[in-house]
Each structure stands twice: as C-alpha cells, then as structure tokens.
A and B are shown apart, each in its own frame.
Chain A
Amino acid sequence: MRPNIASLSVLCCLPMTLLAQSARQEKTISLPARASVEAVSVSQTGNLIAAICSDHVVRVWSVSSGEPVRSLEEKNESPNAAQFSTDGRLLAVAYQIVQYEKGAIRVFDVDLWKEQYDLAAPFSMYALAFSPGKRRLAFSHLNTEIWDFGSGKNLTDISPPFGGSAAMSFSPDGKWVATADGDGFVRVYDANTGTLRGTPTEFLLEPLAVAFSPDGKTVLAGGADKVISIINPESGKVVRVFPRQSGLVSSLDVSANGKQAAVVYRSAESFVEANHVILWDLAKGTVLADFQKLGIVIVGGTFVSDHYVFVTASGNQLTLWSIP
C-alpha cells in the first residue's frame, strides 16, 4: 500500500485518522462552483461513477480518467437517486417532477446514453436496486415496487406498514428481495409475487442497510441499532451478530467472493456525518481496514472485483478512494 499526501497530512493533526492509511486516494474530481454532491453510484465494473448534484444535474465520470462522460439534465425535474445495474450497462435515475408532484424513473443504456425505459413513479424515492442480470428494478418510497423489464410490468408492490424501505437487495438469482424497513424490520419477499418469506427479522431502531450474500444463503443487515446481523433469509432468524458497531450502519456491501463486507457508518449525533468505513472479514469477524476522515462525507461505494471503491464529497470536490 502506498501512502499518500492527503492521508499523511491528516495523520499529523488527527490521531483518530491513523487508520486512514487503509484507504488509497485514487482521484479527485472538481464540480462546478456552488454545486455539491448528494449521492453517488459507482459501477461495479469500476468504469463509471454517477452523481446526483445539488444543481439538479446527474453527472457521470470515467473512473480511470476522471473526465466527465455525460450530464443528464431535465428541465423542471430534480434527480434524487441513481443506481447502476450490477453489470454496469444500465443507469437508473429517479426524478422528482416538481410541477406535477409526481416522479419518474428513467433507465439509460450507458454505452449509447439512450433512454431505455421511462417508468411512472411516486414523487420521492428512497432507494433503487437492480436485480443481478438487470431483469428487475426495485424502487422504494412509502411502498416498494418491483418492475420487470422483460414483461414491462410492475410485478408487485410490497409495503411495510409504515415508513417505507431505506434499502433493498436482490438475491443473486433475482427471486428474492430483502428490504430494510422504517418500521424496524428486515423482510424478505418473493420478488415475483410479493409474498413474505419466513418471519420478518426484528430490530429495535430502523435498519438502514441490507445486502444478500453472493451465495444467497444469508442476508446482512444493520442500521440505527449499531449492530450488523447475519440473517437466514428463509427463517428470518439472526444466525450471527457482529460486535456492537461504533456508529449507525448506513450501507453494507459484500464482496463477490463473500469473504468481506464494507460498512459505512453515520453518527447518531449528526446523521449526515458519514465519514467512516470499515472493511470486515466476514468469517473471522475481524477488521481488515478502517478509514475515517473528518470534514468529508462518504456518498457512495461498491466492490469492484476484490477491492472496495468509495467516493467522498467535500464542498464541490469528489474524491475516489479504494481499499485493496
């Protein structure tokens, strides 16, 4: 691992960032003045990042060059979520159409930058998730809807009693979808029918992150309870709990080989403060890497082959990091 100037300069003044050596700063991208980034999706193929910007523009950059690839801008529409498909070929963007108080989800082919689908949607989206093989798209507002691209139909509408779903994850075969719901439960549904599979898993505070393991045998979930639970998706029972976490579990990603999980944490005292990521060894329950840096916000990340790539924002600057 090579040290970098940014982490060394922080090292001098903040002892708590000693562990920042675990992440490598790869690239810095500057946005136009006065624009900031609200959320980012990183393509799992590692070639593109797409950012929802405060000036209502979706900006897409090449990861390798840091150069802009595309800007998506619709008059009178405000993007609020974006997600690449697992193969990186599609980009779904949720828009708020303020004038009509309704929403739309547009799905773009990122090779041709051609709009493939335009789906009617509620005004405000919390989360988007593609199934592997990009056959389906789940989107969450107060309900969670599953759209099937093959049939062009909304397969099912799975609604928690209240509060919507903060995160969703499809099983590797696309048959099941797990949701982290505002009412304090993690639920696993049949993605075709919306039938609840097994018993919902109980948390006390809201689960904010959920991820199927690559073999589909377990679901990882975490949230405001500051725990990471490994759940049997058939029974809903928690089979293992990680040691109490230092912050609210904001996002969870599992590596393709199923051996590692990258966890982004938020602060309970200030929910927007997401500046801490830990790479866990799932078998041993030990920390492989730990990165924390004051003054930045982690706005997105994903595993690209065997390393975790994440993006931080500070003002109008984006920084791309990787944990080998």
Chain B
Amino acid sequence: MLTRRDVLQKCVALGSVVIASQFSPEAMLAAFQDREKQVRQPTPPNELGPFYKRLTPVNNMLRAPGDPGMPLTLFGQVFDTRGDIVPGATIEIWQTNHHGHYDLNGYRYRGKLNVDKSGAYSFESVVPGHYPDRICQHTHYLVMAPGHRTLVTQLYFATDPVFEGDPTKNYARDPLLQTPELIRPVMLTGDPNEVHAKVQFELCLGRL
C-alpha cells in the first residue's frame, strides 16, 4: 500500500505536482504534508443531553445475544487537529436501545474504552431507536485525552428516515443538528439473513 509520501512523490514524477522552489522536493513535500495535517478541523460538538451516566464500565460490547435491533459496529480513529493519532484517549458512548429507551438504572447501551496505539476504537451495539423527544436516531460520544479539548458530540445515521436519503439537505430538520458533518454513512454487511451495520466516525480533538 502506498504511503501518503509515496503518492506525493508519484504526483511529482507524473507532473501533477510541480515544485517551483529553491528548496528540495523532499522538503517541500514534507511541508505540504504538514500543512495538510494542520487543516484538520475538530469534530463539531453537540449537546451532552441529560442522560450521561458517570462510572460507565470499560466495555465495548454493548449488545447482548438476542437483543432486538440491527447489530451495529461503530469504529474509527482519534486524531488531533494536526492529523496526529491521539493515543491514550478515552471514549464513552451511550444511546437508546432498539426501542428508543435509555437505561437509567444500569449501564445497558453504555460503553467506554481506551483507544489503542493506532488511535483506533470500535464498539459493538445496535442501531439506536428513536428517543421520543428527538427527531433523529443518535449515539452520544464523550472523548477525553490529556492535552486536548474534551469533545462532547453525537453521531447521526445517514439512513435515518428523517433525512429522506439526503442528509446534506435535510440535516436541519433536527434543531440540535447544526451541521451534516455528524451524519455518517451506514455500510451494510453480512447477508440478507443477518444484516450488520457499520459506521465509521473519525474523531478529531482540538489541542489545548
């Protein structure tokens, strides 16, 4: 697999990047890469909501065998605004079950993990139901890492009927949703007898 640097060097060789500078191509490519990293924007924040629960146990398997609802994998990486991996970040998520109910008595559909060295994370859940007061299905995220701004946000699903297939156009139907950036595409895997949804949600933290 080509690295980003390999791709840039190939671009130079093929003429799609022309370097007109007194500095070496290597130095210019390195600077270009650095500049690219700098433009990564922090993930937009979104409301905490009233159902965050302290002391959520470390656990990334939120669904239990036989739970109703479509199995869902939420995965991604945690970056900072320079594009660097943020190891040591802690992610907590919470959501309703398939029927749209939050568990306030226990910790069902609440999970927490520490990201690995590659900044990667994944949770196993089900596609959340519609909480009666909210227009959209959503999963809450709380991401904390030393030296970075704490991120409180929510993930939304592009398959939510409220968007009518066009989240970019219809995102504002939920008054809490200020940007379509938090609405992610849903990949369906498996077979017709056992459909499994996967959603990639990259998280970018601002630096302190």
Please report A residues at the B interface, Cβ cutoff 8 Å: 161-164, 166, 182-184, 202-206, 208, 223-226, 248, 268-272
The answer on a CB contact under 8 Å between B53 and A204 is yes
Complex CA–CA separation, A269 to B133 (angstroms): 9
**Cβ–Cβ < 8 Å partners of A164 in chain B:** 48
Known: A205-B54, A223-B50. 9 other contacts (CB 8 A): A162-B144, A162-B150, A182-B48, A183-B54, A184-B53, A205-B51, A206-B52, A224-B51, A270-B133
Shortest Cβ distance from A123 into chain B, in angstroms? 10
**Cβ–Cβ < 8 Å partners of B152 in chain A:** 162-163
The answer on a CB contact under 8 Å between B52 and A182 is yes
A-B residue pairs in contact (CB < 8 Å), sample of 16: A161-B150, A162-B48, A162-B144, A163-B48, A166-B50, A182-B52, A184-B53, A203-B54, A204-B53, A205-B50, A205-B52, A205-B53, A205-B104, A248-B50, A268-B104, A271-B133
Contact of A204 among B55, B101, B133 (CB under 8 A): B55
Majority SS of interface residues in chain A? loop
**Cβ–Cβ < 8 Å partners of A161 in chain B:** 144, 150
20-63 of chain B: CB within 8 A of chain A: 48, 50-55
Complex CA–CA separation, A166 to B48 (angstroms): 11
Which of A204, A226, A272 has the most chain B CB atoms inside 10 A of its CB? A204
93-109 of chain B: CB within 8 A of chain A: 101-102, 104
**Cβ–Cβ < 8 Å partners of A271 in chain B:** 50, 133
Shortest Cβ distance from A157 into chain B, in angstroms? 16
Please report B residues at the A interface, Cβ cutoff 8 Å: 48, 50-55, 101-102, 104, 132-133, 142, 144, 150, 152
The answer on a CB contact under 8 Å between B50 and A204 is no
Complex CA–CA separation, A208 to B150 (angstroms): 21
**Cβ–Cβ < 8 Å partners of A225 in chain B:** 104
A124 to chain B: closest residue by CB: B47
Which of B50, B54, B102, B150 has the most chain A CB atoms inside 10 A of its CB? B50
**Cβ–Cβ < 8 Å partners of A248 in chain B:** 50
The answer on a CB contact under 8 Å between A163 and B52 is yes
Complex CA–CA separation, A171 to B52 (angstroms): 27
Contact of A272 among B51, B54, B102, B133 (CB under 8 A): B133
Shortest Cβ distance from A202 into chain B, in angstroms? 7
The answer on a CB contact under 8 Å between B50 and A208 is yes
Shortest Cβ distance from A84 into chain B, in angstroms? 25
> Contacts A162-B150, A205-B51, A206-B50: A224 and B133 contacting too (C-beta < 8 A)?
no
